[in-house]
Structures are given as C-alpha cells and as structure tokens.
Amino acid sequence: MTMPISLSRRQALVSATALALVSAGGAVAQEPAPRTPIQGRLVPVRDTRLWVEDYGPRDAPALLYVHGGPGLGVFEFSHFMRDRLSRNRRLILVDQRGVLRSDPLGEGAPMNLDVLSADFDALREGLGIPRWSVFGHSWGGPIALHYAVTHEDTVDRVIFENTVLDADSTARNMLTHTAEALTTAGKARDAAAVRRLLGTRDTKALWDQMDGALNRLPSRQSLYVYDPKFLGFYGRISADAGIPDERWGQGMKMAMALLGDADALAPAWNRLSRLSQPTLLLRGQTDPSISPREIAAVTGKPNARMVEVPRSGHFIHVEQPDAIAAEVERFLTV
C-alpha cells in the first residue's frame, strides 16, 4: 500500500539532506583526496545492476554502508571514509537501486524497504560474504534497520549515524533547529512562523510545509554542518567526478518512489524493538535531524550505546572522519 505524497513534501524530504548539498557556496574545507582510487563496478543483482565499491582485505570482517538521502548515493562517504574504514575490514559501498551510478529505476518498478533489503542480501551472497555488519546514515538508518531485523542470521552489528526513525519526530526536531537558526540570524518573524508549524498535528501536513520553512534560512546547508568551512563540500568533491549530469538527478525518482511507500515513512518503533544485534548510534553535536525521542528509543535498548561526536553536524563522516572511523573500529572489534 502506498501513501499519497505531494511534490512539495517529496522535495522537502529529499532536499532536506541530499539536494541541499549539491549547490556550492561558502568557504570550503580542503580535504585531501583519498589515497585509494575508486574501486567500483556495476554488479548484476537480482533484476538490476548496482554500483558497488569494494575495499580492504577480502578475508576481513565486512561492513556494508547504507546511504541516505534518500537517493544520495555513496559518493561523499566513499571520498571521506574508504581509506579510513578499509584498513582492518572489507568495506562495501552501494549506490542503491535506481541511484547515481546504478541502473535507473524502471517506470512503475517497486521500491520499498523489502526490495532494498533483498538487494543487499543478494549482493552479500554474490560477493561470498557469510555475515557482515551494517552502517546506515540519515535516511539510510531505517533501511539498515529493516535489513538487520529481517536478516538477523547475516547481520552481526548495526551502526546508525544521525538516523531517522520517525518522520514526525524528525520533522519537529528540524523545524525547532530551523527556528533557532532564524532567531540567531535576526529573522524573528520567520522564526515565529516556523514555530507555528509545530502546532500541526498531521505528519504529512508538517512535511508539506517543511520545504518552505527551510527556504527561510539564509543558507539551508548551514543547518547540516557544524563548521561553515564545510559549506559546499559536496559540490567540490563531485566537480571532477566524471559522472553525467543526468545521473546526479536520477536518485530523485528512487526517493519519491521510496517515500511514497507508507512503510518507509511509518515510525520504526516496532522494528527497533525487534533489533537484537549490538547497536551504536553516532550523533553529531549539532545534527538537526535525530530527535530526543529517537535517541531515547535507541539508547534504551540493553545492547545499544550512543557516542556524540563534537564539532560535527549531520555529516559526521565529512566533518570528523577520523573520529567516526575510530568509534566504528572500536565498536566492531569489541
């Protein structure tokens, strides 16, 4: 069953993370280029081909990264983390079905959490990996969670980075952060208008108004980074990628299809209650997405813990890649 979703809501859900990053602006941090060249290829998986990057020793414990957006792809995570996370383990990065370098999503093709989870497990089998851990960022978190609870026999551990577990809680937290940022910027009238939106009870209506609220900010990107020097980071690292322009936009179709599915937008409390694997939640100091309610739901589990990473926002792996690599390595080797 699919939930009707308006264009403005779709734009808000997607551009809140992915599309806001593509436009360059502001001073940019000069992150050194990765030492390891991109090691990716199109791999036949079920009825499509997925772009898969495979790093590290083939006999090392494996880690699957599940990107967010939805529809963002693994490009920026690969740039900042492939050297750092492949020293002691096999790191698998996948542009999800229909995204970026993977084959485009066919017209009317099914897109939901079950489809993505089946893709991941078919890929695991094809790569000859008996078990692995999963790492989900942002909207990749609920995808990773669904995969972990439906494939307990093949998923060892779960890592969330600033994940989304409840669209309503996330929306309200983002609007609160937006209002605070507007107040700091001296835009009191805009801040008051955004705060009034918090009285909206319907989650769909809340998201329908999200895009307009974020557009009141002097810079939407500033909501997602701690340090202004990282504004425009995505535009810089992708400028010479050699990826055709149409590829950058094809993830929007996947995102709209996924977010049109009621299950993808429903609160993940039931799935989280079924999660049995050891879990690590990584939270950026100023991340606007994950709400106190979502944090409490994760950290309330007996085998879960949270680490707050200082001087980082929504993209910890961009602003503090060494710190996040150390935390991941520590968690996976306990």
Tell whether 310 is covered by a domain.
yes
Say what the pLDDT of residue 31 is: 63
Cβ atoms of 77 and 317 within 8 Å: the answer is yes
* In the predicted structure, residue 34 carries a pLDDT above the cut 50: yes
**pLDDT score of 236:** 86
The percentage of the chain sitting over the pLDDT mark of 70, rounded to a whole number, equals 90
Mean pLDDT of 219-235: 90
The answer to whether position 304 is within a domain reads yes
Domain assignment of residue 89, yes or no: yes
In tens, the pLDDT along 56-74 reads 999 999 999 999 999 999 9
Tell me the mean pLDDT in the region 17-28.
42
pLDDT for 202: 84
Residue 20 lies in a domain: no
pLDDT of res. 296? 97
Task: Give the range among 87-91, 127-131, 222-226 with minimum mean pLDDT.
Answer: 222-226
**265 domain-assigned:** yes
pLDDT in the model for residue 20:
43
Mean pLDDT for the chain?
A: 89
The reported pTM is 0.90
Rounded to 5 degrees, φ, ψ at 304 are -125, 150
The per-residue pLDDT for 17 is 46
Instruction: Please compute the mean of the pLDDT values over residues 109-137 and round it to a whole number.
Output: 98
Structural domain of residue 55, as residue ranges?
Answer: 30-166+241-333
In the chain, pLDDT over 90 holds for what percent of residues?
72
- Flag whether pLDDT at 19 surpasses 90: no
pLDDT of residue 25 exceeding 60: no
| 197 inside domain | no
pLDDT at 240 exceeding the cut of 90: no
Domain-embedded: residue 184: no
In the chain, the number of structural domains is 1
Report whether pLDDT(203) > 90: no
Q: What is the mean pLDDT of residues 144-167?
A: 97
Are 69 and 139 spatial neighbours (Cβ–Cβ below 8 Å)? yes
Residue 27 has a pLDDT of 40
- CATH code of the domain containing 281: 3.40.50.1820
- Residue 245 pLDDT: 83
CA-to-CA distance for 267 and 167, rounded, in angstroms? 7
Residue 160: both structure tokens together = 């969330």
Q: Which of 141-150, 253-262, 310-319 has the lowest mean pLDDT?
A: 253-262
Q: Is the pLDDT assigned to residue 159 strictly greater than 50?
A: yes
| Residue 78 lies inside a defined structural domain of this protein | yes
List all residues 6 or more positions away from 197 whose beta carbon is below 8 Å from its beta carbon: 175, 206, 209, 213
Q: Which pLDDT score is estimated for 30?
A: 53
